[in-house]
Copies of this chain bind each other. A is one copy, B any other.
């Protein structure tokens, strides 16, 4: 084992406590033979004879069959795992950043050496998700994966919804309760979700997607007004990781991978995923709609996923074979966000006078964006004091290229009659 933090300690504990059951599952004993850490003194719970500071020696040591990596980060994890795979050792890792950035390199190394590379814990913690994608659905054609894959942001959005509070104060509360890290950037700006989207897209579509290919918006700009606007229309706001197989009118195929907050209908199975839970909604040609739900993080859930992988790799070794390969793959192009079809929800405060809707509708038409629904409500605003009544205008569009939608919103925001753009957010999952 490389590393011995929260997850590593749990893995070590389960290996000991479940040893009889594990041996029965694998068909032979599973023993922890070494733990590489930087500071051995900080790990009094690990028997001294197992501890080493020489990780490079451990991964190629005689008698080591499987390397479990729970260090995290790119280096030295990358070099160590390449060395392990090169020496034909099976690898189990929970390292999403590494897989999202260097996945192709690792898949190829595993394939060349005929060694196993398992990483269930890297996406959505304990939820058995990657295995179904890699194996159960291997005979099907996945068209879309929509996931709530970051517990911190889902906790914050759920809390904003139930309290009506704003983003900043809810984030503070989440930090206080331990649901957000001291530096929450990785979570709230969507980097974590983007890493997971890259891994999911790669596996779902058998192609190569890295985190830099993923379009990304975080939740820092989600306001109480956005959440209220969603609720009024029977929707809820979630940070979604979306991976989509797109076939354009010319018949050529590409992949869209993107992370952003979006409104989804309350009736969508993802809408009821609250708090720090994760869930991934998968659409496939034959299987139809599937959803996987569970805890996305935490030492014990993640360790459970690592153990499941460890059992699979150990079983494969006992049987003399190995698991699924990710080497056979297409190199599908990544669809730029601007070309990707999305729908928008737009709430505006406008002057309550004839012709405003016509003006707004004209801009949509000029950008070839078609409107799905409009709701206009006149109301007495502060402006009535100046004799200028206000109204609110809510527009939901049909799907259109994202770039066209953005230009439309920019142009509308500049209209004299538009006093405030209350909320602009993408809408997903309307038809499932």
Instruction: Check B294–A138 contact: CB distance below 8 A.
Output: no
When distances are taken between beta carbons in the complex, the residues of chain B under 8 Å from A284 are 126, 304
In this complex, what residue of B is CB-closest to A26?
Answer: B138
Partner of A132, one of B128, B140, B310: B128
Q: Which of B18, B294, B322 contacts A287 (CB 8 A)?
A: B294
Contact yes or no, B286 A304, CB < 8 A: yes
A204 to chain B, nearest CB (A): 12
Min CB distance A333 to B, Å, is: 18
Selecting from A171-179, A249-257, A311-319, A381-389, the interface stretch reads A311-319
Q: Are B132 and A22 in touch, CB under 8 angstroms?
A: no
Q: Are A128 and B137 in contact (CB under 8 A)?
A: yes
Out of B128, B141, B328, name the residue touching A290 (CB < 8 Å): B128
Assess whether A269 is interfacial by the CB under 8 Å rule: yes
Which of B21, B25, B136, B322 contacts A120 (CB under 8 A)?
A: B136
**Chain A stretch 1-51: residues in CB contact (< 8 A) with chain B:** 10, 14, 18, 21-22, 24-25, 27
Distance, CA A132 to CA B124, complexed state (A): 14
A419 is an interface residue with CB less than 8 A from chain B? no
A339 is an interface residue with CB less than 8 A from chain B: no
From A186-194, A295-303, A406-414, the one touching the partner chain is A295-303
Cβ-neighbour of A21 out of B206, B315, B316 (below 8 A): B206
Given contacts A206-B24, A319-B322, contact A136 B290 (CB under 8 A): no
Is residue A135 within 8 Å, beta carbon to beta carbon, of the partner chain? yes
Closest to A136 in B: B128
Complex alpha-carbon distance, A132 and B316, angstroms: 16
Is A14's CB under 8 angstroms from B139's CB?
yes
A304 touches B126 (CB 8 A): no
Say yes or no for A307: interface residue by CB 8 A criterion. yes
Q: How far is the CA of A293 from the CA of B281 in the complex (A)?
A: 9
Quote the shortest CB–CB distance from A138 to chain B (angstroms): 4
User: Are A311 and B126 touching (Cβ within 8 A)?
Assistant: no
The verdict on A220 contacting chain B, using a C-beta distance below 8 Å, is no
Chain B residues closer than 8 Å to A323, beta-carbon distance: 315
Please state if A328 and B136 are interface contacts (CB–CB under 8 Å): no
The closest CB in chain B to the CB of A114 belongs to B319
The reply to whether the CB of A325 lies closer than 8 angstroms to some CB of chain B is yes
Is B289's CB under 8 angstroms from A137's CB? no
Given contacts A287-B295, A301-B287, A322-B321, contact A308 B128 (CB under 8 A): no
Query: What are the residues of chain B within 8 A of A415 when measuring CB–CB?
Result: none
Mark each residue of chain A from 111 to 139: 1 if its CB lies under 8 Å from any CB of chain B, else 0: 00000000010000011100110011111
- A76 close to chain B: CB less than 8 A: no
Partner of A25 from B21, B128, B132, B138 at Cβ < 8 Å: B138
**Is A241 located at the chain interface by the 8 A CB criterion?**
no
A305 in the interface (beta carbon within 8 A): yes
Chain B residues near A127: list those with CB within 8 A.
287, 290
Instruction: Report A173 CB to chain B, min CB distance, Å.
Output: 22
Given A25-B328, A287-B301, decide whether A18 and B139 contact each other with a Cβ distance below 8 A.
yes
Residue A272 at the chain B interface, CB threshold 8 Å:
yes
- Asked whether A324 is an interface residue with its Cβ less than 8 Å from the other chain, the reply is yes
> Roughly how many angstroms separate A292 CA and B322 CA in the complex, as a whole number?
26
A283 to chain B, nearest CB (A): 10
User: Is A365 interfacial (CB-CB < 8 Å)?
Assistant: no
Q: Is A306 an interface residue (CB 8 A)?
A: yes
CB neighbours (8 Å) of A131 from chain B are 128, 131-132, 135-136
Identify 12 residue pairs between A and B in the complex whose beta-carbon atoms are under 8 Å apart, listed by A's number.
Answer: A14-B139, A22-B138, A128-B131, A135-B311, A138-B307, A285-B304, A286-B301, A287-B301, A292-B292, A315-B323, A316-B319, A320-B320
List the interface of chain A (C-beta within 8 A of B). Answer: 10, 14, 18, 21-22, 24-25, 27, 120, 126-128, 131-132, 135-141, 206, 269, 272, 279, 284-295, 298, 300-301, 303-312, 315-316, 319-325, 328-329
